[in-house]
Structure 1
C-alpha cells in the first residue's frame, strides 16, 4: 500500500465569513483546539495513511503556514525522497477557483509527472476529522472507479481520489473540456468517467464561517467528540513547542475548559479553549471563549462568547460580550480597553 498514494492539499481557499481571522494568515493556518492548525488534521491523516509525498498549494497570506509546517519534520515528511512540497499558486484575476484547481496544478505539472505514486488524493485544508484513507483507495481500486468523492451524510467533503495519470490528463485538457477543478468533473454529466462516492462514518466538520469555527472549537469540550477526533492509534500531529506547564494561582477557578501550556491563570475560566502563553488576571471572568496564543487579559474583565486572536491585550476592567450565534471577534495584535466600551 505504501507509495501508492500522493497527497495534494489545496490551501488556496478564502472564506469571506472568516475574513476577520484571515487577515494575517491563510485558512490552513487558522489555530484550532488550543494548539493545532486546521491543516494539521488532513496532513496527519495523510501521514497516518502511509502517504509519504504531500504537495501543498497555498495562495493567501501563507507565510504563517510555511512557518508552522517548516520542513515537515513533525509529520515525518523531511525526507530525501518524496516528503513535503510547497507550490504557491499563481493569482489569475477573474479565474474560477475550486478545490483541486487545474490551472494551479498546471503551473507545477512536473511534480505530478515525476511522482512515483499511481493515485492522488486531493483535499481541502479546512475539514476537522480523523480518517484512514487506505480503505478508500482499496475500494476505489476494487470497483474500478475513475474518481471517488468522499462524502459525509451525502454532502461532499471536497476530497477526491483519482489516478495520477487521469489527473494529468484533466489538467492538460482543461481548456478543451471546460473543467476547471475536481468539482466540475464530478458534477458534470458530459463525460464518460465512472464517478463513485465513499461515505465517511466518522466525525467530520468543515469550517467555513465564524459561527462554525466558534461552535466546533467549543464542541471539543464534550468528551465523546474529543475521543472521536483524537485517536491514540491515529494521532494528530502539530508543530512542537517546548513551554513550561500552565501556572494556576490561588485565586484561579477553571471549569470545563482546555488550557494549553505556558499560561498564567488568576481569574475564572469556564467552557473555554485557551492557547499557549495566555495570561488572565485576577478577578476576571472568561466564559465560552476562544483565546489564542499569547493574549493577555487584565484584572476584573468580563468576557463572554468572545474570540481573541493572537497577541491581543485586554485592559483591566473591560467588558466584551458576544453570543453563541455571533461571537465577538477581536483582531490579532489589537488592544481592547475599558474606555472603548463606555
Structure 2
C-alpha cells in the first residue's frame, strides 16, 4: 500500500479531565486498570502493521515520554519505531497553535521520511480500528484526504464536526458543531461525525499546511480550517468507521469509539469494562491492547473470617494489588493498590500505589496515584464534605488528586 508515516497528536492539555491532567498530558491518563489512553491508538497502528510512528508531545509530557520509552520500543533494525517528538519551536519561539500547526512545525519529519501517505490521528480516544482498511479505502477512491467518521444520532452530532457526503461518501459539506446536523443519505436518523483521524496524500498535506500557515485569521486546526476549505477543491472522502472489521470482535463492540474528554465520560467508559459482557472487550487475543507492563507480582486476596474477607466482585484488579480483608465491588484497581481490612470500595477507580486504610468506605470516586487514605475515612457519601476536601465534578464524581495528603 505504499510507504506510510504515522503522526500522533499527543500534546493535548485535557482541561476537562482536570485534576487527572494536573501533572500529565491527556494521552497519558491511565485507563482500564493497566493502560494509558495513548495505548489504544498505538495498539491500533501496530496491530494494523504500521510501524513508523511519530508521537508529537507538548503539554506536561514527562510521564508520556517515560511510558513510550519503557513500553513501546519496536525493532529499529527493521526500520520500525515509535518515537516521541517534543515541541521544538522549529519556526520560532511559539508553541503549537492548533492541530494543523503541530504538523506544520514538524514538516521536516515528513520531508526526511518521504512517505507516500501520512496518517494524522489523535491520542486520547478509546476504540479499535484496523487502519489498513481505511488506507485501502483512501487509495481505492483516489482521495486526497480521507476523514474517519462515525455515524451518531442527530442530537449527539451537535457536538462534533459533521460531514455531509454523496452516495459515494465524497464530502460535499462540513459543519463544525451544527445546531441542525445534516443526516446521512442512507440513514435519516444519524449523521457522520468526524473522529479527528485523517489519511493524507503527502504532497496534499504539505500543500494544505503551507496554505493554512499563510492565513493570519486561521487558528490552524484541521477541523475548523483545513477540511472546511479543502473539500471544495480536492477529493475528500469520509471513511465509515462502522464498516471497519476487527478479527475476533464481538458484534456489540462494532463501531465502539469513546471520547473520554470529560470526567463523567471517563468514569462511565472505565466502569463499563467491569460488566459481565462489556461493550469494549479487552480480552480479544487477535487484537490485543498493548502497553508497558512492570515486573510486579500477582494480585493477592487474604483473610476470610467473619466480616474480614478479602473479596472483589464485578471488578478489574491489577497485578501487585493486595486485598487484605476488604471488599471491592464494581471497581477498577490499578497496580500495587492495597485495600486494608473492613474497608469497602464501590464503583470507584483507584490508581497505582494507593493505600486504603481500615474501616474506610469509598464509592463513586477516582483516586489518583500515590494517595494514602487514613483509616475510617468516608468518600462519596457526603457530597458537601467531599467538595470541601476534594474535587467534585458536575455530576457528583469525586476526584482525589495525585499525592493528596489526607489528615
Calculate the TM-score normalised by the size of structure 2: 0.76
What CA distance in whole angstroms lies between the structure 2 residues aligned with 1:21 and 1:217? 14
CA contact (8 A) 2:119 2:198 kept: yes
Aligned to 2:298: 245
Instruction: Give the superposed CA RMSD.
Output: 2.2
Can you list the C-alpha shifts for 1:117-150, whole angstroms capped at 9, x where unaligned? 3111111111101110111111111111111111
Task: For residue 94 of structure 1, report the CA deviation from its aligned partner.
Answer: 9.4
1:210 matches 2:250: no
Aligned to 1:162: 200
Task: For residue 162 of structure 1, report the CA deviation from its aligned partner.
Answer: 0.6
Give secondary structure in 2 for the equivalent of 1:217. helix
Aligned to 2:51: 52
CA contact (8 A) 1:157 1:206 kept: no
CA contact (8 A) 2:256 2:280 kept: no
- Which has the larger displacement, 211-220 or 223-232? 223-232
What CA distance in whole angstroms lies between the structure 1 residues aligned with 2:103 and 2:119? 13
Structure 2 gaps, min length 5: 152-191, 243-254, 304-308, 384-391
Distance 1:243 1:226, change over 3 A: farther
Choose the corresponding residue for 2:314, options 256, 266, 277. Answer: 256
Distance 1:10 1:326, change over 3 A: same
CA contact (8 A) 1:130 1:230 kept: no
What CA distance in whole angstroms lies between the structure 1 residues aligned with 2:12 and 2:201? 24
Aligned to 1:271: 330
Aligned to 2:178: none
Task: For residue 71 of structure 1, report the CA deviation from its aligned partner.
Answer: 6.2
CA contact (8 A) 1:179 1:185 kept: no
Distance 1:54 1:274, change over 3 A: same
What CA distance in whole angstroms lies between the structure 2 residues aligned with 1:326 and 1:78? 47
Aligned to 1:303: 362
Task: For residue 223 of structure 1, report the CA deviation from its aligned partner.
Answer: 4.0
Distance 1:78 1:294, change over 3 A: farther
Aligned to 1:340: none
Give secondary structure in 2 for the equivalent of 1:70. helix
CA contact (8 A) 1:5 1:121 kept: yes
- Aligned residue pairs total 332
Aligned to 2:123: 125
Can you list the C-alpha shifts for 1:31-81, whole angstroms capped at 9, x where unaligned? 00010000000011011111111111111110000101106645x354563
Calculate the TM-score normalised by the size of structure 1: 0.90
1:15 matches 2:49: no
1:188 matches 2:229: yes
Choose the corresponding residue for 1:113, options 101, 111, 114. Answer: 111
Task: For residue 90 of structure 1, report the CA deviation from its aligned partner.
Answer: 5.2
What CA distance in whole angstroms lies between the structure 2 residues aligned with 1:291 and 1:35? 11
Choose the corresponding residue for 2:137, options 117, 135, 139. Answer: 139
Aligned to 1:282: 341
- Which has the larger displacement, 26-35 or 220-229? 220-229
1:174 matches 2:212: yes
What CA distance in whole angstroms lies between the structure 1 residues aligned with 2:6 and 2:96? 24
Q: Rg: which structure is higher?
A: 2
Q: Within 5 A, what are the aligned runs for 1:217-232?
A: 217-225=270-278, 228=281, 230-232=283-285
CA contact (8 A) 1:72 1:84 kept: no
CA contact (8 A) 1:249 1:265 kept: yes
What CA distance in whole angstroms lies between the structure 1 residues aligned with 2:132 and 2:287? 13
Task: For residue 227 of structure 1, report the CA deviation from its aligned partner.
Answer: 5.4
Task: For residue 190 of structure 1, report the CA deviation from its aligned partner.
Answer: 7.5
What CA distance in whole angstroms lies between the structure 1 residues aligned with 2:125 and 2:44? 11
Can you list the C-alpha shifts for 1:251-276, whole angstroms capped at 9, x where unaligned? 21211000000011020100000000
What CA distance in whole angstroms lies between the structure 2 residues aligned with 1:85 and 1:239? 15
Distance 1:7 1:90, change over 3 A: same
What CA distance in whole angstroms lies between the structure 1 residues aligned with 2:404 and 2:70? 31
Can you list the C-alpha shifts for 1:242-294, whole angstroms capped at 9, x where unaligned? 11111101221211000000011020100000000000110000000000000
What CA distance in whole angstroms lies between the structure 2 residues aligned with 1:7 and 1:77? 16
